[in-house]
Chain A
Amino acid sequence: MKHLINLNVNGTEYEVAVKSGTSLLNLLRDQCMLTGTKKGCELGDCGVCTVLLNGKAVNSCLILAVEAEGQNILTIEGMATGENLHPIQRAFVEKGAIQCGFCTPGMILRTKSFLDENPNPNKEEIKEALSGNLCRCTGYTKIIEAVETANDYLKGKKPKVIEYQPQKSAMDFTVVGKRLPKLDAPDKATGRAQYTDDIVLPNMIYGKLLLSSVPHARIKSINTEKAKSLPGVKVILTGADVTDISYGTSPPRYDEFVLAKDKVRFVGDIVAAVAAIDEETCYKALKLIEVEYEELPTVFDPIEAMKDGAPRLFDDKYENNINTRVDHHFGDIEKGFEEADLIKEAKFVGNRTIQNPMEPHVAIAEWDRHGRVTLYTSTQVVHYVHHQLSRILDLPLGNIRVIMTNCGGGFGAKAATNPLEILSILLSKKIGCPVKMRFNREEMYLYGRGRHKQYIEMKIGVKNDGTITAVKQKAILEGGAYSSFGIVSTYYAGSMLPTLYIIPNYKYDGYRVNTNLPPCGAMRGHGTPHPRFAFESLLSMIADDIGMDHIDIRLKNAMMPETRTCNDLDIHSCELKACLKVVREKSGWDKKKGKLPKGRGIGIGCGGFVSGAGYPIYRSNFPHSNAIIKVEEDGSKAVLFIGDADIGQGSDTVLAQAAAEAMGITLDKMSVVSADSDITPLGFGAYSSRVTLMGGNASKMAGEEIKKQVIKAAAKKLNVHEEKLRAKNNKLFDISNEENFIPWSEAAKLYFSENGPLIGKGHYSPPKGLGGTYKGAAIGTSPAFSFSASVCEVKVDMETGKVKVLNFWDAHDCGTAINPMAVEGQVEGAIVMGMSEALLEEEVFDSNGKMLNADLHNYLIATSAETPDIDSTIVDSYEPEGPFGAKEVGEGATLPILGAIANAVADAIGVRIFELPITPEKVLKAIKEKSN
């Protein structure tokens, strides 16, 4: 049944025919072509589809279009006036409140309705007001600041100007070290930024996947006849129709087929793919596909799965379901424990969590008639998708173009080739028209690739003065059905422990075990947050036993610059001690620790991470990051072409800052084209916190090459020796007489006129030979390591067990912060995500392996209402291997959080929780057990 309705959207009258079931969201996106309103969960839980209906915020996914008849709708496209941003948009841009930008339209509209209702809000009211708009990137902190600033703008007040002290290493720079708004922020604030799902190609159809409804079975038969005869269905593929080439993430463990061949191994395994004229028809067709399963015994618990006789997921590999086994021993563990005055051990259990970027995975594939395919996708890793597609499709790289659109967050969820990317291509090839495929939120959970749940036995030996003599760790990682990143996760779980403290003797036993659950993969901090939680918890317990302050024991053992760890990792810059000192002072630690009333607690945790993996995921000798800069013929703009991916963290801006600094121009003279395999040179993408250091070095090098060329042209014009010229602030001047200069653009124009294109190129490869020679020595290597310390203060309701995180004080050694505002954004986002993981998140399954909380209604992530006050400091540091001294922040900032919260809770209630998440129920149980 169709209805002809009239509605007013952003002041424009629309007359449209809608079906009874069409949501306002789909009407706006598909019929009005207003794609600034985003699709995040379709169930009213996430708020990214927020629009104003007669001035009130609503989730447009749960409003029927037909009910918008005669109503006034305001979408993000209606906020700005001509060229002028609305004051709220301006505040969001300036304050760094926009990262991936996927929640931004809804967030801005909710801010509008809120400030219309309440023109004098306090911070708590703002936090409450935005709690229906989930954000996974920012930790809400900068958003809350933006709302305050927006309110000042709306009232004609000048917002408070905050003076920031630059880092010592950034003093002499003009672009690097500056708090500049992201280049893409205005587009994201206005809904202009295009994400994959916003693209509609002519003649495009849609695809969906049939997921296994059983946890473990042999596929006896698949009957697609009924589905095929449904009007609108174009093509259906099953395992028999696709290649026998298996794929995955790590070459030694390519154990997935594009579609299940003979077996399904978890509820959610992919059985068939359908393409039809629209998603609705796909959903209907999926119901008509008949699959006959022969169910097999299942195993969901990794400890059970390792036992002899347990059901096997793979008959031909992974004995006892052990998918990866690591056995590392550095130094002499027995001698180390013999030297200890105190040895303490404990068991810890992590939680199965998932990235939940606000944007679901989407891909669109289109073949041309020359045998070439173009894929638009929301990915972190254009190159690895490119490489994997080449393998699977048996096509040279040159016949495949992978374009990353704007990406609405990743955190590891989009760090490998996913089935949508492959199947959209296969379906598109078969039918001859472009195919769009999209996960809904439930499918994201079932696809999995979230954090491995780890079962950890940690043992630490110390001298009476707190000096660590030995550490032994055993970790069992619950891996789910396939390998994904798991081999790397298992190594990382062990290899990163010795990077924070001096550990002379270390033994690590790692096991990754397959179970009939969605596969686990790489999530922010990849494999290391749970071991870090265990270690930081146990170290604080040991400090209590030997009567030492928790910060003192960390200072005693803290990593020092220019150290080779026991597992052969080379640490260069390291300011962990400075981080510890900052948070000790800022948090008022010495006044609070041990002195807070019952139910209040303070805790410390430390962290750190690699600044990019030392080696690629598959063997190659390509430089890891590559850049080309092309300067316009009139010198007005330099365009940076970079293969690395801005997934919201702001790398386009940060890399442009590095390039601009190197060239001597300002950021407004830059534009960036990133992550398009046809246009940009190879870059490994956004994973392992690699982009700032590696992409930054490549961009800087390309910029320096440009600078050399413009200096040559300027020298000729000014008649000054090249060595006497400097490039800075869009000028080239004589260092002995700054008045003797020519504009940078003029020099560039001169160069072009005489020599043709002004182009610079740069590349970066990590130093050769990083790491040791033992098996797995490559994992954990990096050109540089970040360090951080966080103090957390909590309040615990002693009668219900509920934990409220009040404050975080964080100090981070990220080398030179190329953009301190972006660094703070990473830290704040990591704190809130870490807090959310520590207190709220866990995937839960029933006894048949079916996930019980595969939505944002039951799998809770932190809202703005939980956001603590965050004080973050970037300590003075300089990394010689990084561009302008820079290294990573995005993942390292997650690492201290779990331990800091666990330690604060233990301080508040006098008893420790060993298992994540730290739910009110566990806390109350612990309190009661202690008092009994």
Chain B
Amino acid sequence: MNSLEFNYHSPKTLDEAINILNKCDNPALLAGGTDVLVEIKKGLRQADDLVSIKNLNELKIIKQKQNEIVIGSSVTHNEVKNSSLIKEKLFALSEAASNIGTDQVRNTATIGGNICTGASCCDMAPVLLAYNSELEILSSTEKRMIHIKDFFLAHKKTSINKGEILTKIIIHISDDQTGVSFLKFGLRDAASISVASVSVMIKFSDKQCIDSRIVIGAVAPTPILCSKASKLLCDFKLTDFSNENILSKVGESAAEDSLPIDDIRGSADYRRKLVKVLTQRAIKIAFERAKYI
């Protein structure tokens, strides 16, 4: 175990945070700390300066702005889980938050930290992709928006550059005829890491599926938007949602898109099988949630 040795900075504003980030040679952002402090203790990461953004009020917001819900990056998982706005408008997101870690971890760890760590097993990523989220990223020179599908580059590698801070997650809310689901498979009933996860979005108009997204997690270095499977789903007739054969084809297609590895939690082959099953189940849940009639 490594001792925690770094300079600690607690900027009062975002600008100040970015200034410090730019001044330091080897900084790291500290939000909840449940990843970064563990990584430093385990010697997987070094940082000379930790810049805390935990208490920046502008990053603690959960609000609705017209058709958008804006979530600050320092909002904790339990704040996501318990937000009545999120429960009402983005139920699958609150579900995903409620299945991350333990209560203790969820009281500390943040939504921004979860995706910025960029672990392949990240649970927020699939559901944020299914919701077609956009991310606001701030640097000393610009405020840029990026679609979440372009955010994850590899395991623990994201498109955040040095000196940048993820500030907001912006989700466009659809109408009632959209259903979103999230399912994860862990080896334990609680506090477990995803062996595979799936998020599905289905949008209806006049009893017709008009848009869909199937996103799989923990089965590749990054979350994967399964375009072929999404397309198959989009072409569904209403009766197809209860047709196991047809559902199974979509599940298989999603599994084909996965690039899993063998690790201590499961073999690549098993993960593919899980993706298929979880996809079928997640489609059914999303379908039930879409008030398509």
Contacts and interface: CB of A to CB of B under 8 A. Distances in A.
Interface stretch (A258-266, A780-788, A855-863, A903-911): A855-863
Interface residues of A, number: 58
Interface centre among B30, B41, B104, B185 (most CB of A within 10 A): B104
Contacts of B108: 58-59, 62-63
A651 B235 CA distance: 67
Contacts of B37: 62, 64
Q: Which of B4, B54, B185, B188 has the most CB of A within 10 A?
A: B188
B173 to A, nearest CB: 27
A921 B263 CA distance: 12
B264 A853 contact: yes
A440 B3 CA distance: 12
A20 B192 contact: no
Interface stretch (B127-135, B150-158, B214-222, B265-273): B265-273
Nearest to B108: A58
B8 A20 contact: yes
A280 interface: yes
Interface in B158-198: 185, 187-193
Given A131-B190, A858-B264, A62 B270 contact: no
Given A50-B104, A59-B105, A920 B187 contact: yes
Given A20-B6, A64-B33, A858-B264, A866 B188 contact: yes
B102 interface: yes
A43 B38 contact: yes
Contacts of A844: 264
B277 A799 contact: yes
Contacts of B192: 860
A857 B119 CA distance: 15
Contacts of B34: 44, 59, 62
Contacts of B41: 42-43
B4 A20 contact: yes
Contacts of B78: 56
Interface string B1-41: 11111111010000000000000000000100110011001
Contacts of B101: 132
B229 interface: no
A110 B103 CA distance: 9
Interface in A497-544: none
B227 interface: no
B188 A921 contact: no
Contacts of A857: 193
A605 B3 CA distance: 47
A800 interface: yes
Contacts of B50: 20, 64
B52 interface: yes
A283 interface: yes
B147 interface: no
SS class of chain A's interface: helix, strand, loop or mixed? mixed
Interface in A45-70: 45, 47, 50, 53, 56-59, 62-64, 66-67
Contacts of A800: 185, 273-274, 277
A454 interface: no
B104 A57 contact: yes
Given A858-B264, A921-B270, A21 B5 contact: yes
A102 to B, nearest CB: 16
Nearest to A50: B104
Contact of A44 (B105, B264, B273): B105
B42 interface: yes
A1 B34 CA distance: 22
Nearest to B32: A62
A301 interface: no
B187 A860 contact: yes
Contacts of A129: 103
B44 to A, nearest CB: 12
Contacts of A21: 3-6, 8
A255 interface: no
A339 interface: no
A23 interface: yes
Using C-beta atoms within 8 Å of the partner chain, give the interface range for chain B: 35 or more
A862 B190 CA distance: 9
Contacts of B54: 67
Q: Which residue, A132, A844, A852, A863, has most C-beta atoms of chain B within 10 A?
A: A132
A865 interface: yes
A442 interface: yes
A110 B104 contact: yes
Contact of B107 (A57, A131, A284, A802): A57
Contacts of A58: 104, 107-108
Contacts of A43: 38, 41-42
Interface string A789-810: 0000000000110101000000
Interface string B123-149: 000000000000000000000000000
A133 B105 CA distance: 11
Interface string A840-871: 10001000000011000110101111100000
B217 to A, nearest CB: 16
A844 B267 CA distance: 14
A132 B55 CA distance: 24
A674 B192 CA distance: 39
B8 A863 contact: no
Contacts of A62: 33-34, 37-38, 108
Contacts of B193: 857-858
Given A20-B50, A66-B10, A283 B3 contact: yes
A50 B41 CA distance: 19
Interface in A795-837: 799-800, 802, 804
B188 A865 contact: yes
A45 B34 CA distance: 10
Interface in B90-108: 101-105, 107-108
A554 to B, nearest CB: 31
Contacts of B103: 57, 110, 113-114, 129, 131-132
A129 B6 CA distance: 34
B5 to A, nearest CB: 5
A128 interface: yes
Interface in A15-51: 19-23, 42-45, 47, 50
A865 B33 contact: no
A924 interface: yes
A863 B1 CA distance: 25
A917 to B, nearest CB: 10
B202 to A, nearest CB: 21
A132 B98 CA distance: 13
Given A59-B104, A132-B105, A284 B3 contact: yes
Contacts of B8: 1, 3, 20-21, 64, 66
Nearest to A867: B189
B264 A863 contact: no
Nearest to A925: B270
Contacts of B273: 800, 924
A66 B55 CA distance: 12
Contacts of B42: 43
A279 interface: yes
Contacts of A799: 277
A279 B2 CA distance: 10
Given A62-B37, A64-B8, A66-B8, A863 B185 contact: no
A362 B141 CA distance: 52
Given A67-B55, A284-B3, 13 more contacts: A19-B5, A23-B4, A42-B41, A47-B102, A47-B104, A57-B103, A63-B108, A66-B10, A113-B103, A858-B264, A860-B187, A919-B187, A924-B270
Closest A-B pairs by Cβ, 5 of them: A132-B102, A21-B4, A131-B190, A865-B190, A20-B8
28 contacts: A20-B6, A21-B4, A43-B38, A44-B34, A57-B103, A58-B107, A59-B104, A62-B33, A62-B34, A63-B33, A64-B8, A67-B33, A67-B52, A110-B104, A113-B103, A128-B190, A131-B102, A131-B103, A131-B191, A283-B2, A800-B185, A840-B188, A844-B264, A858-B193, A862-B188, A863-B189, A866-B190, A920-B266
